[in-house]
């Protein structure tokens, strides 16, 4: 398995990200570019956590920003005991050949206390971007 090039740890939660450009589902002539991103979440803390919500800030190559909020990830609100990991994959379409994503997950522990974990800033680069800003 390929390593995760982006990683951040906040409040005992480690988030690792690996973006991959999906050429076969992109259409540069139609300004449609698609990335898959693979995320691994590890609970390095002492409390059991449940992932409740996500917030994404997606910036395309022209600087347009989109905010995406929702419950859980991929229709799930996983519970992570201390030392546990949860991995999933999702995707992001853009109309530009590059962009960036970052965000946060909100967890609750067994007492109901909220914990926020940062999703590190990661680049969405395609071979069609001549500027390669990221």
pLDDT tens digits for 68-96? 999 999 999 999 999 999 999 999 999 99
Domains of the chain: 6-120 (2.60.40.1470)
User: What is the 8-class DSSP label of residue 32?
Assistant: B
Q: How far apart are CA 104 and CA 81, in angstroms?
A: 19
Distance CA 126, CA 25 (A): 12
Give the confidence band of 7 by pLDDT, cuts at 50, 70, 90: very high
CA distance to 32, 95, 96, 133, per residue, from 62 (Å): 14, 9, 7, 11
CA distance 68 to 16: 19
Residues in the chain: 134
Global confidence as pTM: 0.92
pLDDT by residue (tens digit) across 113-127? 999 999 999 999 999
**H/E element holding 17?**
strand 13-21
């Amino acid at each position: 398995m390929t390593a995760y090039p982006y990683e951040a740890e906040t409040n005992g939660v480690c988030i690792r990200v690996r973006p991959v450009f999906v050429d076969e589902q992109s259409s540069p002539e139609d300004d449609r570019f698609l990335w898959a991103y693979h995320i691994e979440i590890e609970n390095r803390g002492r409390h059991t956590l449940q992932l409740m919500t996500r917030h994404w800030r997606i910036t395309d190559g022209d600087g347009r920003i989109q905010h995406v909020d929702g419950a859980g990830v991929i229709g799930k609100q996983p519970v992570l005991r201390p030392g546990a990991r949860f991995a999933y994959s999702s995707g992001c379409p853009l109309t530009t050949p590059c962009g960036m994503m970052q965000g946060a997950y909100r967890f609750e522990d067994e007492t109901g206390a909220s914990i926020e974990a940062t999703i590190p800033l990661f680049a969405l680069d395609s071979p069609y971007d001549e500027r390669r800003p990221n």
